[in-house]
Structure 1
Amino acid sequence: MTDAQITINHDGTGSVTVDGETTTLAASGAVEARQEATARIAKRAAELGRPLPATATESGRTWPLLIGTDGTVTPRPQEDAAAARPSTVSAPSVEIPDAQADLDVTRSRPVTGQPAPSWEQPATDPIISEVPGAQDDLEATRPRAIATEPPAAPRHSAPAPQTPSPAVDQGSPVDELHTFREVQSDVHSSVAPTQQNESQHAPGPDTGPAVVDPPAAPDAVDADPRWSDISQQPAAHGFRGTLNGMGLKLAPTDEELAVRRESLRQEIAREEEARRADEQLAQEEAARETRRAIRERAAAEKDRAERAIIQTPFEEPKKVIIANYKGGQGKTTVTYGIGATAGRIRGGDVIAWDANETQGNLGFRAKKAPTARSVVDLLEEAADDFTTVEGSKRSTLARFTRSQGDNLFTVLASDESRDRQDLVDADAFEKVHEILGRFYSLILIDTGNNHRVSHFKAALEAADQLVVPVSAGADGAHAAEAMLDSFESLGHGDLVENAVVLLNDSATRRGDATGIAAKFQQRVRAIIPIPFDPALDSGDEIDFDALQAPTRAAYQEATAAIAHGLAGTKEG
């Protein structure tokens, strides 16, 4: 039977002929071409169920081979090769010392699974100093050496006694076939199941279906493009490294290649670990961005909804009283915060009235006016002007109020004289309330602490919405509960049920906010916490722009809750 023919050129081109059918090879290099040729012949061997003889030719040299069904490459005796080779082709006869011993070593040598970059792979390293011209031969025969020139023509040696030799002749077919043997592992993954494997896995009478081993995962080092360059770099360690330091270019030993392989494997593992860490960080950042985006969308939607309810138009003026029987609960700061929030969002149309029966603080903490006029001045100097159409002018009222600039609301302060403030009784309250209602649709009334005075009772009767500030202490909550009980007994249970409680946090007092909230949970419509803000703690004039964002947001939420209650009340 005629051998299968393999022809390989150093640039990776060539051909393989099996059963008279020739296939052109165009691989990236000689190693890849050898692998492809071996795989094609092994595939045909598997189809026939027997090994196929083959003759490989590369750079003028010839190797008689036997390629098994599983891609195993073994040498053929020279006489078998000569019988199978066409009569028109003759190969030079080469005498090899102890060739049979080398052949036995070759047959028992384990497959490395890594294709060698050259056809030659001697079993032992030649001793350079003992072989004439060994340096040139070594570069051509060293495993995975950097090939700079095509292999030289084989040198023929004279017959020698059958004794062990320290060096193997470069043209030895025994060593040359190592190249084919070391491509076996690459063939296994590309050839159909062999007859041997089929017999091993074939189901017997008492066994189930055949089990086929899955293909092994590719080695990470072999898949890395850097390994091709790293593996072919000249030796840098040991005796070969020393010689390379003298100008030679000897390939590395298997041990040095193993060290390089492990080093690259560790580097790949570190890179993979870093990649996974970066990927994890990116995923966590994306998750944070997603959560942040969700929060921002929710906050934007909440802001739009709150602003919309605060901008609710009222057909009649609405009165909101801010009350707690106990002082120091934050009534004045709450009044200002709600006034500024409503004024900015409604675009004006808001006034805050300090209706404290004694000297109140709203005028002191609000933005100052050129003249310190008060509600008492309004009653004494201009009350009669508002009894006629001609005298009922907003400009007249503006002489006694204090504009709060960008906050777009106005303050009507109590009198700085306690004696004069006593002039504001129930009748005076009704008169001022009627005048303010002509020009403002939202009136905020900052009450005092004495619920027994007539103007407090008048404010309660006029109220459309109740706001109850409570500080962090238990005493303020107790006073607020007592006030709500009193309002209910006076027939204002609907005002209590619709009330909004604002829990003012404090930097100096620590109370049970949860416990305080629980006291009002079933009694009022809304409970909203107001965080502590240093800008409000000084007691000076309030700069609303200086408040922290959470504080302004809390006042907007409170103002929206108030407006929601007002939108549900009957007009008039």
Structure 2
Amino acid sequence: MPTSTVHIDFDLIANGDHIRIGDVVFTGETAYPDAIGWLTFRAANIGAAVVVRSYDAANGADTLFSINGAGTVEPVAGITASPWDDPATSAPPAVEPAPQVTPAEAVVSVGAPVSSPTPTAASPAEPAPVTRREARQSFLTQEQIEEPATTGFRGALTRAGLRMAPSAAERLHREQVHLVSQHHVGPRTIMLANGKGGAGKTLATVCLATILARYSGAATVAWDNNQTRGTLGWSTEGARHDASVLDLLPDIDRLLGTDAQSADLASYVHHQTRDRYDVLRSKPELLAAGQRFGSETVDRVHKVLTKFYRLVLIDSGNDETDPMWLAGLDRTDQLVVPTTTDDKWCESAALLLEQLVAAGGRYRMLAENAVVIVGVETSDVRPQKVAEQVRRFKDAGLGRDVLTIPYDSGLKARVINYDALQEPTKLAWLAAGAAVAKGL
């Protein structure tokens, strides 16, 4: 039987937390329930269910549903000609753009689908199965069933009883969460480096450690491998002691022994009770001469940390020729290069990556797989400036991924409270964490 034409009572346009039904506009956190309530009221006044066609500006999807005076939502099948189906007006009515849930750079670089090349006539044919077992499809093949939408207007419809597929933005968010939640075989080391002080290395160390520890639940430690007044300890929560890496050094042999337990490290590290990772501090009160180590000592500290932790984040110093810096790099699996939008800090980041590429071998691999994080340092930095710096890194082929972190006054606090950050900032750090996790 052919599909019938359906009369549309209301056209609804959803764009983030901005919803328009005719001339009525709903905004803010309550936009979705307010819109559903408004439609329910109209249906109750009419005494019959009303048919609504919604347009989701986040992914361009159209949805046809009905809602009655009790607020019950049901799908509607049929063909209709709404205002934006008219050939003379082929595009939906314009709405104000909603805030992006992730930086554009994160959308491009994290979780983007990769299409397989289409085989050509010259492509060699796949070899035929040679055994009955190879030819048989396994009974254990499982089909992944996607969870319905939980955010945006599509999420509101799901909660109202109409199961909706997630938007592209929600799928991306789920992929990022999946990446940062992984447990890897063997320990992994992430080093944050930029030869110019004030680039945001300590800030990035704190935020990435928070993301990775919270989502993965893996034992994670942030190590201040810096002899020149490293401030990681000043930016994080302190334990009931004032221990630093200097206190760890005399006990390395015991900690590497067979009788040592992970709980023994509590005497040397500072646990972050909210964010669930540990910090191995340096001692910024001392001059560099009082805590400068050779590569062998760095190696031994690293062996202790990788014995008891799955993830080790190294907040490095500013001297790229120092044995401590070089020893940390030699033990790194994923390089992260933070910078501000200022030209001097960006140039410092670019020079580091270029020098590592020129060094060849494993250093080149680290540079080519590096994640560059461009943090907006003040509220008056223009978006055009941020986009320009990102473009220049990408055009020069510096790093695998280039991501941005928006300005947030919460990132200026002495001790960073991740839960106090604004939602766009949290989403940006999640995207950065996912990019880092891809390299592990």
Q: TM-score band, normalised by the shorter chain? A: 0.5 to 0.7
Q: Who is 2:329 aligned against?
A: 460
Give the conservation status (yes or no) of the 8 Å contact 1:357–1:450. Answer: no
Letter of the 1:518 partner, please give it.
R
Q: CA deviation at 1:287?
A: 7.4
The equivalences for 1:131-530 within 5 A come to 280-281=22-23, 290-291=56-57, 292-293=152-153, 297-380=167-250, 382-390=251-259, 392-416=260-284, 417-419=286-288, 421-491=290-360, 492-507=363-378, 510=381, 512-521=385-394, 522-530=397-405
Q: CA deviation at 1:283?
A: 9.8
Q: CA deviation at 1:439?
A: 1.1
> How far does the alpha carbon of each residue in 1:306-354 deviate from its partner, in whole angstroms, 9 at most, with x for none?
1111122211111111000111111111100000111110114111111
Q: Who is 2:434 aligned against?
A: 560
Q: Who is 2:71 aligned against?
A: none
Work out the CA distance in 1 between the residues paired with 2:351 and 2:417. 33
Give the conservation status (yes or no) of the 8 Å contact 1:376–1:423. Answer: no
Letter of the 2:370 partner, please give it.
A
Work out the CA distance in 2 between the residues paired with 1:340 and 1:490. 32
Note closer, same or farther for the CA distance 1:470–1:294 as it changes in structure 2 (3 Å cut): farther
Note closer, same or farther for the CA distance 1:527–1:452 as it changes in structure 2 (3 Å cut): same
Q: CA deviation at 1:509?
A: 6.4
Give the conservation status (yes or no) of the 8 Å contact 1:414–1:421. Answer: no
Give the conservation status (yes or no) of the 8 Å contact 2:221–2:312. Answer: yes
Q: CA deviation at 1:299?
A: 3.6
Q: CA deviation at 1:302?
A: 2.1
Give the conservation status (yes or no) of the 8 Å contact 2:357–2:368. Answer: no
Note closer, same or farther for the CA distance 1:282–1:431 as it changes in structure 2 (3 Å cut): same
The equivalences for 1:101-116 within 5 A come to none
Q: CA deviation at 1:542?
A: 1.1
Tell me which structure has the larger Cα radius of gyration.
1
Letter of the 2:232 partner, please give it.
L
Q: CA deviation at 1:372?
A: 1.0
Identity of aligned residues (%): 29
> How far does the alpha carbon of each residue in 1:418-456 deviate from its partner, in whole angstroms, 9 at most, with x for none?
246534221111000001001111110000100111011
Q: CA deviation at 1:526?
A: 0.7
Q: CA deviation at 1:497?
A: 1.2
Letter of the 2:433 partner, please give it.
T
385, 400, 407: which one aligns with 1:532? 407
Give the conservation status (yes or no) of the 8 Å contact 2:187–2:306. Answer: yes
SS in 1 for 2:404: strand
Letter of the 1:520 partner, please give it.
F
Work out the CA distance in 1 between the residues paired with 2:25 and 2:288. 69
SS in 1 for 2:228: coil
SS in 1 for 2:189: strand
Work out the CA distance in 1 between the residues paired with 2:332 and 2:317. 15
Q: TM-score, normalised by structure 2?
A: 0.61
Give the conservation status (yes or no) of the 8 Å contact 1:348–1:408. Answer: no
Letter of the 1:565 partner, please give it.
G
Higher helix proportion, which one?
1
Give the conservation status (yes or no) of the 8 Å contact 1:376–1:424. Answer: no
Work out the CA distance in 1 between the residues paired with 2:245 and 2:380. 34
Say whether residues 1:544 and 2:418 are aligned partners.
Answer: yes
Note closer, same or farther for the CA distance 1:279–1:487 as it changes in structure 2 (3 Å cut): closer
Work out the CA distance in 1 between the residues paired with 2:399 and 2:408. 25
Q: Who is 1:18 aligned against?
A: none
Letter of the 2:253 partner, please give it.
D
Note closer, same or farther for the CA distance 1:281–1:398 as it changes in structure 2 (3 Å cut): same
Work out the CA distance in 2 between the residues paired with 1:486 and 1:431. 27
Letter of the 2:205 partner, please give it.
T
Letter of the 1:564 partner, please give it.
K
SS in 1 for 2:254: helix
Work out the CA distance in 2 between the residues paired with 1:451 and 1:413. 20
Letter of the 1:531 partner, please give it.
P
Q: Who is 1:76 aligned against?
A: none
Q: TM-score, normalised by structure 1?
A: 0.48
SS in 2 for 1:528: strand
Work out the CA distance in 1 between the residues paired with 2:371 and 2:53. 37
Q: CA deviation at 1:387?
A: 3.7
Work out the CA distance in 1 between the residues paired with 2:187 and 2:278. 15
Letter of the 2:153 partner, please give it.
A
> How far does the alpha carbon of each residue in 1:90-115 deviate from its partner, in whole angstroms, 9 at most, with x for none?
xxxxxxxxxxxxxxxxxxxxxxxxxx
> How far does the alpha carbon of each residue in 1:149-177 deviate from its partner, in whole angstroms, 9 at most, with x for none?
xxxxxxxxxxxxxxxxxxxxxxxxxxxxx
Letter of the 1:410 partner, please give it.
D
> How far does the alpha carbon of each residue in 1:196-227 deviate from its partner, in whole angstroms, 9 at most, with x for none?
xxxxxxxxxxxxxxxxxxxxxxxxxxxxxxxx
Cα root mean square deviation, aligned: 2.3
Letter of the 1:445 partner, please give it.
I
Give the conservation status (yes or no) of the 8 Å contact 2:375–2:407. Answer: yes
Give the conservation status (yes or no) of the 8 Å contact 2:218–2:311. Answer: no
- Give structure 1 stretches of 5+ with no counterpart: 1-277, 567-572
Q: CA deviation at 1:294?
A: 5.5
Work out the CA distance in 1 between the residues paired with 2:350 and 2:25. 51
Work out the CA distance in 2 between the residues paired with 1:365 and 1:550. 22
